[in-house]
């Protein structure tokens, strides 16, 4: 069995606003192994991005705070680290790719400069060595002619190339864990396919564990080994990707997969989930999906279902599942 | 055959690139380079392609927000360039409406829903306030909103509901043709299905024609009767949706379809081999000679980099622009 890089246990992250406590992440647990891609799937505002930011401890303080749980990275709980210690973890052991390559690069620095920043900070190398490392990072992301490309500014590159540069920055110190927050959403279909294939290669050569945050089941199918489906701050189902598609157990997972239009099927009326997710300010006492669920029972509205293992690490939180 | 509502013949749009103090023209961005299509009454035509392919420019030309460089747009068989300004305002604009991609930026945040949806009626008709109010309530009901929503502001709605408001505004005047520019791409997956079902229902009820701009093929397949695949300002393949998806001919179409099919991890070893294109779309400022796709095409031959392929009809309902399909 491969090594576990990240173990998240019962993580709670809340935002304290004038209107009250918003429980953006409310008790989630999962792990990411070496050389594995774990997908976190869900709709907007289900807590995917907040989970990513919590792992880096980059929540907008003081409103956002981790109020409970453990984040164990390479064997130690990073919630116990000081701010200074945390700075040496970020970029070196964990790094992150953001959604929009147009806004996540600094327009007034060359890409070489931006990649060099974390290399200088974490590895303390000198000029020539830094350049070598920058070139090797660009090579890792298969950017053609890296020796001349590193002198380019972001505006001289296309969207797909810029997202590769963002990937090169993230991978420059060869982290163990990469958090990729919707890295392909802003890209075109054929460029998206290129980027996913590229990251599979990067993973094979560096053994990096990837936490892949997305709302797109198509990308999940291509990229992820295991998936956690999030709804209103909780993970409702965790399983391997093929299990999630072939034998989804939670009604929300079933509904979400059915509502994705498939190229192979036509003239079937699309399945749609009625209603909206609940407000995170005022969560229902029972199962959070109860109000939109087609198989709801009285018990669902009263008590939260516990997470149960239906075999092989396939975890579901639903009263219907035995 | 159904009545043709809109026909584009050889449409071209070139934007000048200027330089220096005197703003001399040094080149042209060929955003659209000779495209032709037809939209029939009650049917949906989708324009599909990646960013920079010219989809949105086409939509803008149809909505008369951009002037044509050359070519003709026929509305119900009549040449639009021969319409007077008054005739355009009276006959074209009320009948051709649009829904924009992003429901967060396409509405005035300071207007109430009833004013947003009622505005086309105020501008284009001479109805009384009472008549406008009744029509607004009727159309809100059509798109699945309640009468009490009329008095709220856009920020009080979720994305899906806002897109319903945008659809209501587009339908207020009972148009023939609605231009839908990426109508669902800004929405969540579960909400997308709601809006796509709604758009289909409204089409059936009101016999509407849609010109859909999209990049997601699965969405397109669900919505459209015919599809035009665009690449770098040209239509490379055009045909009935069913025919085109069953039997794609152009290598670019095949790559797009391959990128959109849902493949499970273990399927990879089987025959479902993904086509991954190398490189990126070239600049429309300086499109490659010959076939514009040859720089990324796996089937390209010497002929492809020299001769421009013509649009050829391979079946009654299927045309393709490729040297390999004669």
pLDDT higher than 70, residue B210 = yes
Query: Within a 13 Å sphere around the CA of A267, how many CA atoms are in the beta-carbon half?
Result: 3
pLDDT tens, residue by residue, B72-88 = 999 999 999 999 999 99
Instruction: Identify all chain B residues contacting A278, using CB atoms and an 8 Å cutoff.
Output: none
Residue B256 pLDDT exceeds 70: yes
What distance in Å separates the CA atoms of residue B127 and residue B141, rounded to the nearest whole number? 20
A215 and B188 within 8 Å at the Cβ level: the answer is yes
Judged against a pLDDT cut of 80, whether residue B272 lies above it is answered with no
Give the C-alpha separation, B309 to B236, whole Å.
10
Cβ atoms of residues B156 and B104 within 8 Å: no
Q: How far is CA A152 from the centre of its chain?
A: 29
Helix (H, G, I), strand (E, B) or coil at B130: helix
Average pLDDT, rounded, for chain B: 90
Beta carbons of B53 and B233 less than 8 angstroms apart: yes
Closest among A193, A233, A184 to A212, alpha carbons compared? A184
Percent of chain A topping pLDDT 90: 67
Query: Does the structure show a pLDDT above 80 at B115?
Result: yes
DSSP B8-35: EEEEEEEEEEEETTTTEEEEEEEEEEEE
For residues B137 and B127, give the distance between their C-alpha atoms in angstroms, rounded to a whole number.
Answer: 15
The number of CA neighbours under 13 Å toward the Cβ of B277 is 25
- 157-176 in A: which are within 8 Å (CB) of B? 158-161
The phi, psi pair for B311, rounded to 5°, reads: -75, 120
Predicted pLDDT of residue B173: 94
In this structure, the strands spanning A209-214 and A226-231 are unpaired
User: A283: which residues sit within 8 A by CB, 6+ positions away?
Assistant: A23, A26, A232, A233
Task: Using CB atoms, pick whichever of A241, A242, A270 lies closest to residue B196.
Answer: A270
- Chain B CB contacts of A160 below 8 Å: 280
In the predicted model, is pLDDT for residue B179 greater than 90?
A: yes
Mutate to test the interface with B, among A263, A274, A291, A294 (most CBs of B within 10 A): A263
What local confidence, expressed as pLDDT, does residue B266 receive?
Answer: 58
Q: State the pLDDT confidence band at B1, using cuts at 50, 70 and 90.
A: low
Rounded to an integer, the average pLDDT of B127-131 is: 94
Mean pLDDT of B128-150: 94
**pLDDT band, residue A272 (cuts 50/70/90):** confident
Q: Please tell me the predicted confidence (pLDDT) of residue B21.
A: 84
In the predicted model, is pLDDT for residue A131 greater than 50? yes
Cα dihedral sign for A107, A165, A179, A79? negative
Tokens of B225: 């009767």
CA-based nearest residue in chain A for residue B261: A263
Tokens of B39: 């939209």
* pLDDT band of B270, cuts 50, 70, 90: very low
Is residue B154 within 8 Å of residue B116, measured between CB atoms?
Answer: yes
Of chain A, the end-to-end C-alpha distance in Å amounts to 28
Q: Does A79 touch chain B (CB under 8 A)?
A: no
The predicted structure's pLDDT at residue B286: 85
Using a CB-CB cut-off of 8 Å, the residues of chain B touching A159 are: 51
Domains along chain B with CATH numbers: 4-246 (3.40.50.300)
- Chain B nearest-CA distance from A241, in A, is 7
Read off the pLDDT of residues A58-101 as tens digits, 9 standing for 90 and up: 998 889 999 999 999 999 999 999 999 999 999 999 999 988 88
- The arithmetic mean of pLDDT across residues B28-49, rounded, is 93
Q: Of A160, A190, A195, A271, which to mutate for an interface test with B (greatest number of B Cβ within 10 Å)?
A: A190
Tokens of A254: 């079933």
Report how far residue B123's alpha carbon sits from residue A275's, in angstroms, rounded to the nearest whole number.
Answer: 34
| Domain A4-105+176-316, CATH among 3.40.50.300, 3.40.190.10, 3.30.43.10, 2.60.40.10 | 3.40.50.300
Q: DSSP assignment, residue B147?
A: G
- Measure the N-to-C terminal CA separation of chain B; round to a whole number of Å: 27
Find, among B262, B228, B55, the residue nearest to A265 by Cα: B262
Question: DSSP code of A90?
Answer: B
Residue A191: closest C-alpha in chain B? B280
Neighbours of B125 (CB within 10 A): 14
For the segment A39-57, the average pLDDT, to the nearest whole number, is 91
What pLDDT band is residue B102 in, cutting at 50, 70 and 90? confident
Is A42 within 8 Å of A233 (Cβ atoms)? no
Please check whether residue B101 is in contact with residue B153, taking contact to mean a CB–CB distance below 8 angstroms: no
* B296: Cα separation from own chain's centroid: 24
pTM, rounded to two decimals: 0.85
Q: Which residue has the tokens 């393949």?
A: B237
pLDDT band at A50 (very low <50, low <70, confident <90, very high): very high
> Counting every residue, how long is chain B?
326
pLDDT, mean over chain A: 91
- A264 CA to chain B: closest CA distance, Å? 7
Q: By three-state DSSP, how is residue A76 classified?
A: strand
Q: What is the mean pLDDT of residues A140-163?
A: 90
Q: CA A129 from chain center: how many Å? A: 32
Q: Which of B222, B257, B265 sits opposite A261 (nearest CB)?
A: B222
Share of chain A above pLDDT 70, in %: 98
Three-state SS string over chain B comes to CCCEEEEEEEEEEEEEEEECCCCEEEEEEEEEEEEEEEEECCCEEEEECCCCCCHHHHHHHHCCCCCCCEEEEEECCEEHHHCCHHHHHHHHHHHEEEECCCCCCCCCCCCCHHHHHHHHHHHHCCCCHHHHHHHHHHHHHHCCCCHHHHHCCHHHCCHHHHHHHHHHHHHCCCCCEEEEECCCCCCCHHHHHHHHHHHHHHHHHHCCEEEEEECCHHHHHHHCCEEEEEECCEEEEEEEHHHHHHCCCCHHHHHHHHHHCCCCHHHHHCCCCCCCCCCCCCCCCCCCCCCCCCCCCCCCCHHHHHCCCCCEEEECCEEECCCCCC
Q: Label residue A1 by pLDDT band (50, 70, 90).
A: low
Does residue B228 contact residue B37 with C-beta atoms inside 8 Å?
yes
Phi-psi region of A209 (alpha: psi -120 to 50; beta: other; left: phi over 0): beta
Token digits of residue B24: 């001399």
Q: Decide if pLDDT at B169 tops 50.
A: yes
Q: How far is CA A65 from CA A95, A106, A247, in A?
A: 20, 28, 36
pLDDT at B269 over 60: no
Question: pLDDT for B309-322, tens place per residue?
Answer: 999 999 999 999 99
CA distances from B261 to A185, B105, B227, B254 (A): 16, 31, 17, 11
Asked which of A223-232, B106-115, B248-257, B268-277 is least confident by mean pLDDT, the reply is B268-277
Q: Cα distance from A270 to chain B (closest Cα, Å)? A: 6
| Chosen from B159, B244, B259, B263 to mutate, greatest number of chain A CBs within 10 A | B259
ipTM of this complex = 0.77
What's the sign of the alpha-carbon dihedral A16, A21, A27, A33? negative
> CA A244 to CA A228: how far, in whole Å?
9
Q: What is the pLDDT of residues A191-225, one digit of tens each?
A: 888 899 999 999 999 999 999 999 888 889 889 99
Q: Shortest CA distance to A305 belongs to which of A235, A240, A253?
A: A235
The Cβ of residue B83 has, within 10 Å, a number of other Cβ atoms equal to 17
Is B222's CB within 8 Å of A216's CB? no
Average pLDDT over residues A168-193: 90
């Amino acid at each position: 069995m491969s090594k576990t890089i990240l173990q998240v246990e019962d993580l709670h992250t809340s935002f304290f606003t004038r209107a009250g406590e918003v429980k953006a992440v409310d008790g989630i647990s999962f792990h990411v192994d070496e050389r594995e891609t774990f997908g976190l799937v869900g709709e907007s505002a289900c807590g995917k991005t907040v989970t990513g930011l919590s792992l880096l401890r980059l929540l907008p303080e003081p409103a956002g705070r981790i109020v409970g749980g453990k984040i164990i990275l390479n064997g130690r709980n990073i919630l116990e680290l000081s701010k200074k210690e945390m700075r040496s973890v970020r970029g070196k052991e964990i790094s992150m790719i953001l959604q929009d390559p147009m806004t996540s690069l600094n327009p007034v620095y060359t890409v070489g400069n931006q990649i060099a920043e974390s290399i200088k900070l974490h590895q303390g190398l000198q000029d020539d060595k830094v350049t070598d490392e920058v070139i090797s990072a660009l090579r890792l992301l298969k950017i053609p002619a890296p020796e001349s490309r590193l002198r380019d500014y972001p505006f001289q590159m296309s969207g797909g190339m810029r997202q590769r540069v963002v990937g090169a920055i993230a991978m420059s110190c060869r982290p163990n864990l990469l958090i990729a927050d919707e890295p392909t959403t802003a890209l075109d279909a054929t460029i998206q396919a290129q980027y996913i294939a590229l990251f599979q290669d990067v993973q094979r050569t560096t053994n990096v564990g990837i936490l892949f945050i997305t709302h797109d089941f198509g990308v999940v199918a291509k990229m992820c080994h295991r998936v956690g489906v999030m709804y209103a701050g909780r993970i409702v189902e965790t399983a391997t990707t093929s299990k999630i598609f072939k034998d989804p157990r939670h009604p929300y997972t079933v509904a979400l997969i059915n509502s994705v239009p498939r190229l192979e099927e036509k003239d079937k009326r699309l399945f749609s989930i009625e209603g909206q997710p609940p407000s995170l300010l005022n969560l229902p006492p029972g199962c959070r999906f109860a109000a939109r669920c087609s198989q709801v029972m009285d018990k669902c509205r009263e008590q939260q279902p516990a997470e149960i293992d239906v075999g092989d690490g396939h975890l579901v939180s639903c009263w219907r599942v035995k | 055959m159904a009545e043709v509502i809109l026909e584009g013949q050889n449409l071209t749009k070139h934007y000048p690139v200027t330089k220096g103090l005197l703003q001399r023209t040094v080149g042209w961005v060929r955003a659209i380079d000779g495209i032709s299509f037809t939209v029939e009454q009650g049917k949906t035509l989708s324009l599909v392609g990646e960013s920079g392919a010219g989809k949105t420019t086409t939509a803008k030309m149809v909505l008369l927000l951009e002037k044509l460089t050359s070519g003709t747009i026929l509305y119900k068989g009549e040449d639009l360039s021969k319409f007077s300004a008054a005739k355009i305002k009276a006959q074209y604009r009320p009948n051709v409406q649009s829904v924009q991609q992003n429901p967060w930026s396409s509405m005035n945040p300071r207007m109430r829903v009833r004013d947003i949806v009622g505005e086309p009626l105020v501008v284009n008709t001479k109805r009384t306030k009472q008549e406008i109010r009744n029509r607004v309530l009727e159309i809100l009901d059509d798109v699945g909103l309640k009468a009490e929503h009329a008095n709220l502001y856009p920020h009080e709605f979720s994305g899906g509901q806002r897109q319903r408001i945008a659809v209501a505004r587009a339908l207020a005047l009972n148009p023939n043709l609605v231009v839908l520019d990426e109508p669902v791409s800004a929405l969540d997956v579960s909400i997308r299905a709601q809006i796509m079902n709604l758009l289909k229902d409204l089409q059936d009820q009101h016999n509407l024609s849609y010109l859909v701009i999209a990049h997601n093929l699965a969405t397109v397949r669900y919505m459209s009767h015919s599809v035009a695949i665009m690449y770098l300002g040209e239509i490379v393949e055009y045909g009935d949706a069913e025919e085109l998806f069953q039997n794609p001919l152009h290598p670019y179409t095949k790559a797009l379809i391959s990128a959109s099919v849902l493949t499970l991890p273990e399927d990879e070893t089987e025959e479902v081999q993904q086509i991954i294109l190398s490189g990126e779309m070239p600049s429309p400022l300086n499109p490659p000679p010959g076939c514009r796709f040859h720089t990324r095409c796996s089937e390209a031959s010497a002929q492809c980099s020299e001769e421009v392929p013509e649009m050829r009809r391979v079946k009654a309902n299927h045309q393709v622009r490729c040297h390999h399909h004669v």
